[in-house]
Every structure is written in C-alpha cells, then in structure tokens.
C-alpha cells in the first residue's frame, strides 16, 4: 500500500508530505543527477531545459556553471515548482535560472530556444510520450541534444511502487526518438542507470 502511494507521489508530489517526497527524490536521484550533469557537458553559454525539476537540485548545479547561458525547468507539481523557486532565488535574480509549472506534452517555452533538454526519471510519467517528444523537438535548436535518463524496464519491474509507471526498454526509447526524427542516438550506461541521447 505504501509503495503504491509513494509511486503516485513520485509522479506529482502534493499535500503535506510533499517536502518529504522532495527530500526522498533528491537523495535517491543524487547519483543519476550528477552523472546526467556530466553527460550534459555544460558550457557557460548553454541554454538548458530540465523536464521535471523536482526540488531544483540538478537545475541549481547546472545554473551555477553558467555565465551567459540559462537553466530553465518545468515541473507538473506546483509544490515542486514552489520548492525550486525558493532554492534558485539568487540564481534567478542573476538571470541564470527560470522555473515554470508545466508538462512535457506542453512545454511553456518558444521554438528553438534550447541547446540541450534533459529529463531524469520522468519518462515513466509522460501521459503522451509522442506529444512530449514533439515538444522537445520543437524547443531544441538545430543540432540540439535531448538526454533521457532512466532505470530500464527490467530493473523497475522489481518494485511495487512502479506498478502505475510506464516502463521502457532501451530499444523502446530508441524507437520513440527515431519516430520523431531524432538522429545520432546513443545509449550511455552507468551502474543501474541508462541515459539515451539524441540530436535534433
């Protein structure tokens, strides 16, 4: 019962325990976030979008590396957006960060504004992955790169909290990206993590 409740909260934290959920995710995602940031190879001028900012830990780390660039983030949970806004206040004041409430299927940014778009552990929750990838393609600049970091299907099936998740294999992610005209698809593995990257 607890595992199923936790799974629903991970999808979109809300309520009085949302702070605890945010801390739980931040601790649990620390390694994969750090690895994903390394893969992003952040440049001082980069404009980067994170889909699913959670409490803003990864986005803050990225924004601190920027000079003329900007780290933007969206999250479907209003509780997480508020938490991210508090965490990134000084970075936003410096013009290095921006946080909005939003969904992968309807990204609240204009066309071709990002060099890189990344997402850690949110692919499972997208209600319409085809529409989400269309949106990612739309907001990426030509030659921009998407980074999708996940636990793979066989690993995730072992936990009851993932009963309501949509799980993906490496090949399924690759197929989705090919379907939406992404190219130069590569698969990176680290510990139990997988990150599939592709260029527009």
Residue range 36-84, pLDDT digits in tens = 999 999 999 999 999 999 889 999 999 999 999 999 999 998 988 998 9
Mean pLDDT of 4-30: 51
pTM of the model: 0.85
User: Taking 90 as the threshold, does the pLDDT of residue 198 lie above it?
Assistant: yes
Mean pLDDT of 161-171: 75
Mean pLDDT of 139-162: 78
Please, what are the domains in the chain? 2-199 (3.40.50.150)
Q: 20: pLDDT confidence band, cut at 50, 70 and 90?
A: very low
Q: Please, where are the H alpha helices in the chain?
A: 2-11, 18-28, 30-40, 57-63, 78-87, 89-93, 129-139, 153-156, 170-179
User: Strands 193-199 and 140-151, how do they pair?
Assistant: antiparallel
Is 167 or 49 the better-scoring residue by pLDDT? 49
Main-chain phi, psi angles of 118, to 5 degrees:
-135, 160
pLDDT for 168 equals 86
pLDDT for 156 equals 57
Give the dihedral sign, CA 82/89/23/48: positive
User: Taking 70 as the threshold, does the pLDDT of residue 15 lie above it?
Assistant: no
User: Taking 70 as the threshold, does the pLDDT of residue 163 lie above it?
Assistant: no
Mean pLDDT of 145-150: 96
pLDDT for 16 equals 44
Cβ(196)–Cβ(170) under 8 Å?
Answer: yes
Q: How crowded is residue 87: how many other Cβ atoms within 10 Å of its Cβ?
A: 20
């Amino acid at each position: 019962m607890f595992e199923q409740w936790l799974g629903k909260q991970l999808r979109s934290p809300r309520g009085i325990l949302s702070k605890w959920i945010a801390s739980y995710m931040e601790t649990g995602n620390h390694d994969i976030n750090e690895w994903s940031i390394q893969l992003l190879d952040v440049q001082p001028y980069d404009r980067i979008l994170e889909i699913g900012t959670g409490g803003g830990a990864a986005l803050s780390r990225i924004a601190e590396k920027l000079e003329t660039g900007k780290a933007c983030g969206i999250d479907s949970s209003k509780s997480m957006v508020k938490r991210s806004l508090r965490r990134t206040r000084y970075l936003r004041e410096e013009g290095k960060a921006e946080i909005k409430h939003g969904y992968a299927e309807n990204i609240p940014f204009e066309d071709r504004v990002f060099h890189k778009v990344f997402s850690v552990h949110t692919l499972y929750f997208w209600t319409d992955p085809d529409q989400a990838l269309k949106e990612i393609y739309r907001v990426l600049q030509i030659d921009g790169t998407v980074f999708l970091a996940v636990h793979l299907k066989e690993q995730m099936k072992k936990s009851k909290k993932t009963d309501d998740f949509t799980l993906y294999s490496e090949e399924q992610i690759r197929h989705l990206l090919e379907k939406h005209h992404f190219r130069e698809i590569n698969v990176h593995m680290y510990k139990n993590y997988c990150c599939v990257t592709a260029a527009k």
